[in-house]
Structure 1
Amino acid sequence: MTPADLSRTVLRAVRRAVDENALRAPVPARVRVERTRPGGSGDYACAVALQLAGPARLPALEVARILHERVAAEPGIGRVEITGPGFLSFTLGAPADSDRAVLHAVREQGSVYGHGGAFGGEEIRFLHAPEVRAAVTADAVRRLLTAQGARVRISCEGAGEADRTEWSRLGVTADAHGTSPAARNPPAPSTPIRPVPAGATAGELLERLGVDATRWGLLRPAVHDRARLGDGLLVQGEANPLFQVRYAHARARALTRGAAALGFTSAPDAAPHGSAARPLLDLLADHPGVLLAAARHRAPDRVARHLEAVAHAFFDFHDCCSPLPSGDEKPSAAHRSRLALAEAAGTVLAGGLSLLGISAPAHL
């Protein structure tokens, strides 16, 4: 069970409790689950009982008990505890089962793993400044929200034709983005997007850095931080996070080609174990939550940082547990399971880069 699955499971329990009249409160649009903090109980925790206590006019502990009854027997959940003032703490099923579920989800969903419908039907409008970083940030925010089901429209404050032409080379189009919203009168208010300006034009950045490095340089810092747009974005080495992310993806694809040449394929049913695999598996499981949070907070930098973490964990895993046999070694179940994890990492990296508008080449 992935964190997104757990969130949906808890939401279904809330709906059942309301339908059965055990709980009289509005059903929330979404339920948030988070990894348990150090020293806490279980794998994940949820504060939905505290959220519903007021509307239900019940103590949070009573709400937690009502939900506990309806979620404890769900497949994939090993144990549910009520902690503190009314938190629900979840211990998922056997780690291997959870790991397999993540790997299967990535394999089945491909590059759209982590996309969802949290903003389904919502119409969201943005207005950005006539400046390249604002335009690229607005475009990335549109991609993130559209991936969560929103209908997005973006307009710009007085950009000239030359600006729009340069932005189009960066994958940014003019005015409407995403699915055109249904007509409404008056229109929904527009939220401004005003990051710290880049200090250069799109044309200048493209000439010096190219599309991918320009977009990464503009999106990697938080909007309130200055974008570092030096030549370090072109360095082909560990000092350049963009290179690390794209190289990790390319290496994952190379492993698939190498395995095919040796006559074997991946097998996600045998989830890899060991301390080297654990950080990477956890990051892949967290990917849907990262995408949702980035969309909710209009923060594409969160996706960039997450991809960096995935790349570092991938290389640590790869260096410790190679998915390919060496020498006269024959491919084993362990190699097939390691390859499944490596391929899932590559898929997540490609999907995340796509949401940032950055290419993920199979060869570097």
Structure 2
Amino acid sequence: MTPAELAAAVLDAARRVVTARGLDPTLLPETTTVARPRQPEHGDYASNLALQLAKKLGVKPVDLARELADELARTDGVKSVEVAGPGFLNVRLDAAAAGALARIVVQQGRAYGRSETLAGEKVNLEFVSANPTGPIHLGHTRWAAVGDSLGRLLSAAGAIVTREHYTNDAGAQIERFGRSVLAAARKEPAPEDGYAGEYITDIANKILEAHPDALDKGEEFFAEVGHKAMLAEMRASLERFGVHFDVWFSERDLHNGGAVEHALEELRKQGHVFDHEGAVWLRTTDFGDDKDRVLIRSNGEKTYFAADCAYYINKRERGFDRCVYLLGADHHGYIARLRAVAACAGDDPARNIEVLIGQLVNLVRAGEPVRLSKRAGNIITLDEIVDAVGVDAARYSLARSSTDSVLTLDIEEITRQARENPVYYVQYVAARTASVSRNAADLGITRGDDFDAALLVHEKELDLLKALGDFPAIVATAAELREPHRVARYLEDLAGTYHRFYDKCRILPQGDEPVTELMRARLWLNDAARTVIANGLDLLGVTAPERM
């Protein structure tokens, strides 16, 4: 029995009790949950449903809890139900119901942990969105790891997710980029306001190689061809990192396709656009922004904010229910203004838009800051991080901490093959579970089509079963709160639980010892642990190795 199945049984019992009492069943919630008690002696799971319902139904919590306990105790798989405190239910499952979870996990395979919580909801997930004027750097890399993991989590919760990269390919930065590449092609110093680094010279040389007459075409040509070359590099770096975008959206398309003018017209219809001193403004202060924002300056020039408005409206008109923005540490001011844009467009900022801010990342080696990139000049690039630590170590380490805090990564720590290194610790369990299965096969042992779930009664077996049962709720919560690090921390706890099971519960026979049904049951439990570890690592974009 899974925690979700037990929670459904608790709710079914409540419906029967409420109906028998002649009370209003519409006061019952659509769903409920169960949780593991802090103290194992209190049972396998606990429910506070009686406490939640008592006041609504006009009954005493303890009385309702007693009736719920009596009704729930009749459920197949429930061994006993006790009432504790003011109305908590402490539930114990019988051995067969508890052990059957291993069968459920193995049979569901990759589907275990997935849900329909966000079924049908169309989510636009925008992250990284780096300017095409330089390589993907360390700050982008954190959002690449977190954003892609968040996309996987939202998909696991049933959402229809489109991963989108917004390319800032209009405006002054592209002009400066073109001048910088042209200067490098001419063997001249970079402009004072331009971009430096060997990557500029690399792009210039590629352009000259592909277009021998490029020096006759001017900086606009170098800007156009150069930024396309830079975009190709960025895509290659991200794909190498396991991050794929469904859409690469060009800022130019907003301007060239009339999307900005269309957005201003739509916002004006909503009554929030006004003219003042020759400029066009959006009254965002009506919705919590600290000041109103200029859309078109008095000289007729459209602002970046006008493009932001157009981009949001474009997303909504493409049919996305929720637009999620993952922005860098220097974008805190965007939270209020983008929420105000949603409100000005007639949307619900609490539902249709989310703005998440990620903090900085520092890279050190043995406590000392890593030197800046030779190729990129003043940044550390994604490719250099991958070269130094590998994709798995980088992705796991970047995703395992809350984005609310500044993160410091020590190259030596995250590549060390030791228990203290979280990614190694979790991947080692993945490899160990696979090794157990291989060794069983070498001995001619199979787990069979089924097993006696009632045999799994050892304390460490039950601990592992409970930990495996927590996985779907962890995935759902991590998706709901937009916090992939919850999956990583769960996997680390699960790894410890599996090690304790492995140490105390021998799975395979020794010598001429006969194969027992308990060993086959433990093989099922081992393979269930392998399934959950692999599913959890996949949500983080990390591999579950079979050998280490």
Q: Which amino acid aligns with 1:30?
A: T
Listed one character per residue, the Cα deviations across residues 12-63 of structure 1 (whole Å, up to 9, x for unaligned) are: 4455667886334355343121112328743222223333445545554565
Partner of residue 141, structure 2 = 132
Q: Deviations over 1:173-231 (max 9, x none)?
A: 33669xxx955685852212223233454223222122111110101122223152523
- 1:309 matched to which residue of 2? 493
Matches of 1:202 and 1:247 in 2, distance apart? Answer: 25
Identify the residue that residue 50 of structure 1 maps to in structure 2. Answer: 51
Q: 1:324/1:39 Cα in 2 relative to 1: closer, same or farther (>3 Å)?
A: closer
- How far apart, in 2, do the equivalents of 1:204 and 1:12 lie? 55
Residues 138 and 193 in structure 1, CA contact (< 8 A), matched pair in contact too: no
Partner of 1:171, secondary structure, is: coil
Look up the match of 1:260.
441
In structure 1, the residue matched to 2:469 is 285
RMSD, aligned CA: 3.2
**1:279-320 deviation per Cα after TM superposition (whole angstroms, max 9, x unaligned):** 323212222222222222222222112212222222232233
Q: Aligned AA for 2:433?
A: A
Distance 1:230 1:38 in 2: 38
**Which one of the candidate residues 383, 388, 393 is aligned to 1:208?**
388
- 1:269 corresponds to: 452
Residues 14 and 297 of structure 1: is their aligned pair in 2 closer, same or farther, counting only changes over 3 Å? Answer: farther
SS at match of 1:33: coil
Paired residue for 2:265? Answer: none
Comparing 238-247 with 165-174, which one deviates more in the overlay?
Answer: 165-174
Q: Which residue of 2 aligns with 1:172?
A: 243
Q: Is the 8 A contact 2:435 2:546 kept in 1?
A: yes
Say whether the 8 Å CA contact 1:17–1:23 is kept in structure 2.
no
Aligned residues: 360
- Residues 1:347 and 1:294: Cα distance change in structure 2 (over 3 Å): same
Query: Which residues of 2 match residues 72-221 of structure 1 at below 5 A?
Result: 72-92=73-93, 94=94, 96-128=95-127, 130=129, 131-155=140-164, 161=231, 163-174=234-245, 182=319, 186=347, 189-199=352-362, 200-221=380-401
Offset, 1:113: 1.6
Alignment of 1:361 with 2:545, yes or no, is yes
| 2:11 corresponding residue in structure 1 | 11
Deviates more, 1:48-57 or 1:327-336: 48-57
- Between the aligned partners of 1:285 and 1:138, the Cα distance in structure 2 is 26
Equivalents in 2 of 1:310, 1:134: separation in Å? 26
Alignment-mate amino acid for residue 219 of structure 1: A
Q: Is the 8 A contact 1:120 1:148 kept in 2?
A: yes
Instruction: Name the counterpart of 1:37.
Output: 38
> Max radius of gyration: which structure?
2
- Once residues 39 and 147 of structure 1 are traced to their aligned partners in structure 2, the CA distance between those partners, rounded to angstroms, is 30
Q: Contact (CA 8 Å) 1:136, 1:215: kept in 2 or not?
A: yes
Percent identity (aligned): 35
Amino acid aligned to 2:402: A
Question: SS at 1:228's partner residue?
Answer: strand
**CA 1:252–1:42 in structure 2 vs 1: closer, same or farther (change >3 Å)?**
closer
Correspondence for 1:239: 420
Which whole-Å CA distance do the structure 2 matches of 1:30 and 1:345 have between them?
27
Whole-angstrom CA distance in 2 between matches of 1:23 and 1:323: 51
Hey, what's the Cα distance between the residues in 1 that align with 2:41 and 2:27? 29
Kept in 2: contact 1:24–1:55 (CA 8 A): no
Provide TM-score, normalisation by structure 1: 0.85
Tell me how far 1:6 sits from its aligned partner: 0.9
Q: Does the C-alpha gap of structure 1 residues 146 and 64 become closer, same or farther in structure 2, counting only changes over 3 Å?
A: farther
Q: Match of 2:415, as an amino acid?
A: L
1: CA distance, partners of 2:51 / 2:247: 39
> What runs of 5+ residues in structure 1 fail to find an aligned partner?
none
CA contact (8 A) 1:127 1:154 kept: yes
Q: Structure 1 13/182 Cα, relative in aligned 2: closer, same or farther at 3 Å?
A: farther
Contact 1:79 1:90 in 2 (8 A): yes
- Residue 250 of structure 1 aligns to which amino acid in structure 2? A
Contact 1:115 1:291 in 2 (8 A): yes
Would the alpha carbon gap of residues 100 and 232 (structure 1) be closer, same or farther in structure 2, given more than 3 Å must change? same
Moved more, 343-352 or 219-228: 219-228
> CA separation in 2, counterparts of 1:120 and 1:16?
29
Quote how far apart the aligned CAs of 1:146 are.
1.7
Distance 1:110-1:189 versus aligned 2 partners, 3 A rule? same
Report the 3-state secondary structure (helix = DSSP H, G, I; strand = E; otherwise coil) of the residue aligned with 2:355: strand
1:258 shift after superposition: 1.4
Which deviates further from its counterpart, 263-272 or 339-348? 263-272
SS at match of 1:360: coil
83-92 vs 255-264, greater mean Cα deviation: 83-92
Aligned partner of 2:298 in structure 1 is none
Larger deviation, residues 182-191 vs 207-216: 182-191
With over 3 angstroms needed to count, the CA separation of the structure-2 counterparts of 1:70 and 1:291, relative to structure 1, is same
Report if the CA contact (8 A) 2:11-2:31 is conserved: yes
